[in-house]
């Protein structure tokens, strides 16, 4: 049983973020529930790495003095699973926006798909999506995108140590990837489509690991809140 002092001295909570929740919402919800459960006026709570609303999976949430470890956790390699859809692109590189272009896929074979993964292993240059929370001149990139404004985005060097195709079902490609901090899987989907001479976008994403932390050991926000009710 955790106490108010436990949360203030520092806890590392492994949360399985639900679909459509923002990481910010998850932090706010848990902070509020901890404060209510123990009648705490103020407590530090933060997360170690944003997940998009359309992604699910492992979110490390730190409380109290453990928030000082957030940068350490953020710097660790991450593992994701998910699916790409071949033959079409969206401005956000995922399902947040509507399809804007379609491409032929008749030329794509299983061999071509598997061979294409090789060019994404190691240190690669990647352009973040325009629909992202990165800042440029004080504004987040998605603010420019939603206003229809063009903005120059610089490539960043990221590292992908593992990238495998786990299932091919027509134009739906299931994958697993292990990558460094700063990698955008949406950009990987977009670039993978280009490598196949056909568009692609991300249709599902789940973060399964951060360093040695595994989503198998995570709980839903609801289950965590239920444990607070037992204190």
Q: What are 73's two structure tokens?
A: 């956790």
Residue 44's pLDDT band, with cuts at 50, 70 and 90, is very high
Model confidence, pTM: 0.93
Which is higher by pLDDT, 152 or 107? 107
The contacts of residue 154 (CB under 8 Å, 6+ apart) are 127
- 3-class secondary structure, 62: strand
Domain 4-75+212-229 CATH (choose: 1.10.3720.10, 3.30.2350.10, 3.40.50.970, 3.10.20.30): 3.30.2350.10
How far apart CA 43 and CA 4 sit, in angstroms, is: 10
Query: Where are the chain's structural domains?
Result: 4-75+212-229, 78-210
Q: Which helix (H) or strand (E) holds 187?
A: helix 185-195
Active site residue 77: no
Q: Is the pLDDT of residue 63 over 90?
A: yes
pLDDT in tens, 189-211: 999 999 999 999 999 999 999 99
In the chain, the percentage of residues whose pLDDT exceeds 70 is 95
pLDDT at 3: 86
pLDDT at 196: 97
**What is the DSSP annotation of 124-167?**
EEEPPPSSSS-EETTEEHHHHHHTT-------EEEEEEEEEEEE
Of 6, 16, 52, 77, which residue is the catalytic one? Answer: 52
Q: Residues in the chain, how many?
A: 231
Alpha carbon separation from 123 to 60, 117, 159, 160, 180 (Å, rounded)? 26, 13, 4, 7, 10
* Torsions phi, psi for 87 (to 5 deg): 100, 0
Q: Do domains 4-75+212-229 and 78-210 have the same CATH topology?
A: yes
In the chain, the percentage of residues whose pLDDT exceeds 90 is 81
Q: Is the pLDDT of residue 219 over 80?
A: yes
In terms of Cα–Cα distance, which of 39, 197, 215, 220 is closest to 105? 197
Cα atoms found within 13 Å of the Cα of residue 34, Cβ hemisphere only? 28
Can you identify the CATH homologous superfamily of domain 78-210?
A: Pseudouridine synthase (3.30.2350.10)
């Amino acid at each position: 049983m955790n106490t108010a002092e436990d949360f203030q001295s520092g806890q590392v909570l492994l949360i399985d973020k639900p679909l459509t929740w923002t990481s910010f919402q998850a932090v706010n919800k848990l902070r509020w529930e901890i404060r209510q459960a123990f009648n705490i006026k103020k407590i530090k709570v933060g997360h170690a790495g944003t997940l998009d609303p359309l992604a699910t999976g492992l979110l490390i949430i730190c409380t109290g003095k453990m928030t000082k470890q957030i940068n350490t956790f953020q710097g660790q390699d991450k593992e994701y699973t998910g699916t790409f859809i071949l033959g079409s692109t969206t401005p956000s590189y995922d399902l947040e926006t509507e399809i804007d272009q379609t491409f032929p896929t008749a030329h794509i074979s299983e061999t071509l798909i598997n061979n294409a993964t090789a060019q994404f292993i190691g240190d690669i240059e990647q352009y973040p999506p325009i629909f992202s929370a990165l800042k440029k001149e004080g504004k987040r990139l998605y603010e420019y995108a939603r206003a229809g404004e063009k903005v120059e985005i610089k490539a960043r060097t990221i590292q992908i140590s593992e990238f495998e195709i786990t299932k091919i079902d027509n134009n739906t490609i299931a994958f697993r990837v292990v990558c460094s901090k700063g990698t955008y899987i949406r950009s990987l989907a977009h670039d993978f489509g280009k490598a196949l001479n056909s568009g692609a976008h991300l249709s599902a994403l789940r973060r399964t690991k951060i360093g040695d932390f595994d989503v198998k050991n995570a709980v839903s926000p609801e289950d965590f809140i239920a444990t607070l009710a037992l204190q």
